[in-house]
Structure 1
Amino acid sequence: MSSETTLTSARRPGRPARGTEGEATLRILDAATPIFLAEGFEAASIDSIVTAAGISKKTFYVRFNSKADLFEAVFLRFIEERIPVIEREAGHVGSASDCLHRIALASLKVALTPDVIAFQRIITAEAIRFPQFALVMNDFGQSRLHSLIERCLEQAVEAGEIKVPDIRFAADCFLNLTMRPPVDRAVLGLERAELTHVKRTALKRTVEFFLESCRP
């Protein structure tokens, strides 16, 4: 066999070598992420993803049942890479104002980026056909953020800073006031996906407005 034939065979996509199966999965995820972000779910093709990953379709289908299955895995990894930043901010000791402001600010820094907004648009566009995408976002992203806010409120209640009869409802209200308006406007294209000085100032005022309604 000539050296040219050997080189061609080495480059041909196919079954990964024994012990590299995990690497192949990561290659698929790495290749799929920018394709989904650039083209959306519907336009992204498995052909383009396997080509970018340098693997065969057979290798792809050993790991993922469908494009929807792959998208869930891509989005889940995307969430898992970003949530720890917010969780670290929630771990600092401080007043209710400091705690809530840190969580909200860290959350908006993550949420108001082009990639996050692109994923939000995909999930909204595919909500009817693939409601499981929204479930992934809720179960692995929003619910964890909600828990951080609830914990902050519980600590503030125990310290006597605020009086809240229903912690879960209060956390919902906090998210509705601080997070959803700027994120929704970015998703709709009404504002750029960035955390500006104006948005930072508005966030600080909103946190204080919320706490004023909770103070005894």
Structure 2
Amino acid sequence: MDEPTHSAGGDAGAAPPADARSRGRPRLREAAAIDAAIRAAALDMLLEHGEAATLNAVAQAAGLSRKSVYARFSNKADLFISVIRDDLLQDKQPVEYSTTGTAEDRLASYVEAAFLLVNAPKARAIQRLLAVNPNYIAALKVQMHKATRRHFFEPLIALLEEARRTGALAIVDVEATATVIITLIFAETVHRSHEDAFFPPRRTLTEQARFITELMLRGLRPRAE
């Protein structure tokens, strides 16, 4: 019986050897794992070193070659913008605060919770990066606006609208009032970041939240006829 014959090109339907596959592009699962490692390392570098971080440092922290990182991100600005946009801003949930007690208690709880969030390490890292390189602001403007609206404005507006509806607070313009409150919160954060250098030590976050709340409420309490 004749032996089966094979064409010179081999079986067109056969899978390539394993070593041949390993020399080509990484599979989807491998590529996803590489991307996740790069993003996790970039976030760590961003929190620890800010603008001083380099793509080489990210590659080393991720346990990858520089080629793997540079194949995906040509510079650190592209990488950091991607991490901030997709990993930090997208997962922002509304400020969580106590909904018990009076309207004043709820507002004070909201202000304190907002203080804690904008002073958290991740938020601080973003603030430092934006301060150092204004190009980040331009690249992230839309996402930052949406995240701020969803994270800070919407829960505060709901709080203020309820207080106005029940007559607990005399609020004429809910949107404008929310804007002023959030502006004070962010301004206070900037103030505290320079406190050691330019200002004497002051109140704790809880104490300052109560102070700002009381300051605002003096103009919001209903007045006797």
TM-score (norm 1): 0.73
Higher helix share: 1
Amino acid at match of 2:161: E
* Distance apart, 1:152 and its partner CA: 0.8
* Distance apart, 1:159 and its partner CA: 1.3
Would you say how many aligned residue pairs link Structure 1 and Structure 2? 195
| Equivalent residues of 1:16, 1:24 under 8 A apart | no
Correspondence for 2:182 among 168, 175, 184: 175
2:207 corresponds in structure 1 to 201
2:88 is aligned with 1:78 = yes
Gaps of 5+ in 2: 1-23
Which deviations, in whole Å up to 9, do the C-alpha atoms of 1:66-100 show, x marking residues without a partner? 4323212322423455x43x53326x355322322
Question: Do the aligned partners of residues 58 and 141 (structure 1) sit closer, same or farther apart at CA in structure 2, a change above 3 Å counting?
Answer: farther
Gaps of 5+ in 1: 1-13
Question: Do the aligned partners of residues 62 and 151 (structure 1) sit closer, same or farther apart at CA in structure 2, a change above 3 Å counting?
Answer: farther
Distance 2:160 2:71 in 1: 45
2:104 corresponds in structure 1 to 97
Correspondence for 2:32 among 18, 22, 47: 22
Give 1 or 2 for the bigger CA radius of gyration: 2
For the residue of structure 2 that corresponds to 1:88, the secondary structure is coil
Question: Do the aligned partners of residues 142 and 62 (structure 1) sit closer, same or farther apart at CA in structure 2, a change above 3 Å counting?
Answer: farther
| Equivalent residues of 1:15, 1:59 under 8 A apart | no
| Equivalent residues of 1:35, 1:44 under 8 A apart | yes
TM-score (norm 2): 0.71
Distance 2:159 2:61 in 1: 44
Correspondence for 2:63 among 33, 50, 54: 54
Note the 1:59-208 alignment, pairs <5 A.
Answer: 59-60=68-69, 63-64=72-73, 66-76=75-85, 77-80=87-90, 83-84=92-93, 87-89=95-97, 92=99, 94-128=101-135, 130-141=137-148, 143-177=150-184, 179-187=185-193, 189-191=194-196, 198-208=204-214
* Distance apart, 1:23 and its partner CA: 2.4
2:225 is aligned with 1:215 = no
- CA RMSD across the alignment: 3.1
Q: Which region of structure 1 is more displaced relative to structure 2, 59-68 or 161-170?
A: 59-68
